[in-house]
Amino acid sequence: MSVMTYKGYVARIEYDPDDRIFVGRLVGITDIVGFHGSTVDELEESFKKTVEGYLELSEKAGVKPQKPYSGNLMLRIPPEVHAHCAMMAEAHGKSINQWVTEVLRNAK
C-alpha cells in the first residue's frame, strides 16, 4: 500500500490486479471519494482532479468539504505515561504538545 497527498488530503493507493489499474481512495474523511489510473502519471492526475472536483462540488452544494483532521487529538493514557510525557517535554524544554508532536512525527 502507498499513499499520496494533495491540498492536505491523503489517499490510500492499491493495485487491482484483475483490472490492472491503480485505485485510490481519500482517507480521513467519511465521504467516499475514489479515483483510479492505469499509470502513475494517470493516477496522480486523477487524484488531483478528484480532490479539485470534491472541493468544487462541496462549494456548489453549499457545504464545507470535510477536512482530513482538525489537529485536535484526545487521548486517554495511564497517569504514569502522562507523567513521563510531561517530564520528557520539560527535559527537552518543550510543552507536552510540542514534544508529543515531535515524537509522533518521527514515529515509523
pLDDT in tens, 47-105: 999 999 999 999 999 999 998 777 788 899 999 999 999 999 999 999 999 999 999 99
pLDDT value at residue 11? 95
Strands of 2-6's sheet, edge to edge?
2-6, 9-16, 21-27, 34-37
Predicted confidence (pLDDT) per residue in 3-47, tens digit? 899 998 999 999 999 999 999 999 989 899 999 999 999 999 999
Q: Measure the CA–CA gap between 88 and 84, rounded to whole angstroms.
A: 6
Look-up of cell digits 512525527: 105
**CA angle 61-65-66, nearest 5°?**
140
pLDDT value at residue 1? 64
Domain ranges in the chain? 2-61, 73-108
- The residue type at 83: A
Q: Measure the CA–CA gap between 26 and 50, rounded to whole angstroms.
A: 9
